[in-house]
């Protein structure tokens, strides 16, 4: 069964600190992995997308890594800001004609002043 597991479930950090969120998946075949940010009361917004051949990708203070061999990904947030408080969701697509995505349950990040 295709699954995406994220850890931790929730995380509280102080403004200015760094943090790393984890994502393990069992989706097969694999085409790409996205990290989404979902602010409270909003829909998810894509932060990064990584394909099988990519190991790391950055988007400002967000850096995602992917190890397709171990089926693990991480999202590293540098110098956190209060606006980073949100749920971060890992999503995997199997590719081809399969239009369904497999979603993780998300990590709820709270950045405190």
Partner 1 sequence: GAGVSQSPSNKVTEKGKDVELRCDPISGHTALYWYRQSLGQGLEFLIYFQGNSAPDKSGLPSDRFSAERTGGSVSTLTIQRTQQEDSAVYLCASSLEAGRDYGYTFGSGTRLTVV
Q: Which residues bind partner 1 (CB under 8 A)?
A: 4, 31-32, 34, 41-46, 49, 89, 93, 95-101, 103-106
Peptide bond into 29 cis (omega under 30): yes
Element (H, E) at 80: none
Q: State the nearest-atom distance from the C-beta of 27 to partner 1, in Å.
A: 13
Q: State the nearest-atom distance from the C-beta of 15 to partner 1, in Å.
A: 26
Q: How many CB atoms lie within 10 A of CB 85?
A: 17
Q: How many CB atoms lie within 10 A of CB 112?
A: 11
Distance CA 54, CA 59 (A): 14
Nearer to partner 1 (CB atom), residue 44 or residue 77: 44
Q: State the nearest-atom distance from the C-beta of 69 to partner 1, in Å.
A: 21
Nearer to partner 1 (CB atom), residue 71 or residue 78: 71
């Amino acid at each position: 069964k295709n699954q995406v597991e994220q850890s931790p479930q929730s995380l509280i950090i102080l403004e200015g600190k760094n943090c790393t969120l984890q994502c393990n998946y069992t989706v097969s075949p694999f085409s790409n992995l996205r990290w989404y940010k979902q602010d409270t009361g909003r829909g998810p917004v894509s932060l990064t997308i990584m394909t099988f051949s990519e190991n790391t990708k950055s988007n400002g203070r967000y850096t995602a890594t992917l190890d397709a061999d171990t089926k693990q990904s991480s999202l590293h947030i540098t110098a956190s800001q209060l606006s980073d408080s949100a749920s971060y969701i890992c999503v995997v697509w199997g590719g081809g004609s399969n239009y369904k995505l497999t979603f993780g349950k998300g990590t709820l990040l709270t950045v405190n002043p």
